[in-house]
Structure formats: C-alpha cells, structure tokens
Amino acid sequence: MKKVAAIAGMALCALAATAWAATVTVEQRGRSFGVAELTVKVGDTVTFVNNDIYGHNVYSDTKDAEFDIGLQEPGETLDVTFDEAVNAKVRCRIHPRMRLQITVTE
C-alpha cells in the first residue's frame, strides 16, 4: 500500500510541475527577436511567433539546449520546451544578426 501511495504521490508531483510550467512568447519582426534576453524556468515553453515578412530558422547549438525549428514561414508559430537549466544562445540561420539569450533556471 505504501508503495502505491508513493507512486501516486510522485505522479501528482510530476503533474503539478507540468501544470505550473509557463509559456513565453517571443516575436520575430524586422529580422530581429522582440527581446534580446529572456529568463524562463525548467519545463517552460518558449513560443516563437514569426510576425515578419521573412522566413526564419531559429536554432540553438548550446550544449543541453540544442534545437532547430527549421524553416519558419511568416505567420507560423513554433514551440520549444527547455528541460534543463542552461544559458542558451539562440540565433537565426538565415539572419545571423538575430540573437537571443535565454536563461533557463531551476
């Protein structure tokens, strides 16, 4: 019985952590990110919204924060969830001057 209660408790904690995760929106416009720096918590999702007339290819090759959303057409919205505490350098492969620093905290 104690084992079942412990498993149920762990499941509730996992659900609670997911329920408290936030979503933060980063707009892309004028071949730039809407912000230069952003702080989120582990488990949070960053939504990249392309409100530009140009396509973008947002990526990070930072260790423990690697992602590449591929070609993001104007008007498209794509999500990235961060699972580890890290300082991620985010760029656009098409527009190398686009730079964003995302700090992911515990």
**106 residues of the chain, pLDDT tens digit each:** 444 343 444 444 444 445 688 999 999 999 999 999 999 999 999 999 999 999 999 999 999 999 999 999 999 999 999 999 999 999 999 999 999 999 999 9
Domains of the chain: 22-105 (2.60.40.420)
- Distance in angstroms (rounded) separating the CA atoms of residues 38 and 27: 12
Closest CA to 46 of 81, 13, 72, 75: 81
pTM of the model: 0.80
pLDDT reported for residue 20? 84
Distances in Å between the Cα of 15 and the Cα atoms of 18, 21, 47, 79, 80 are 5, 10, 21, 20, 19
pLDDT reported for residue 90? 98
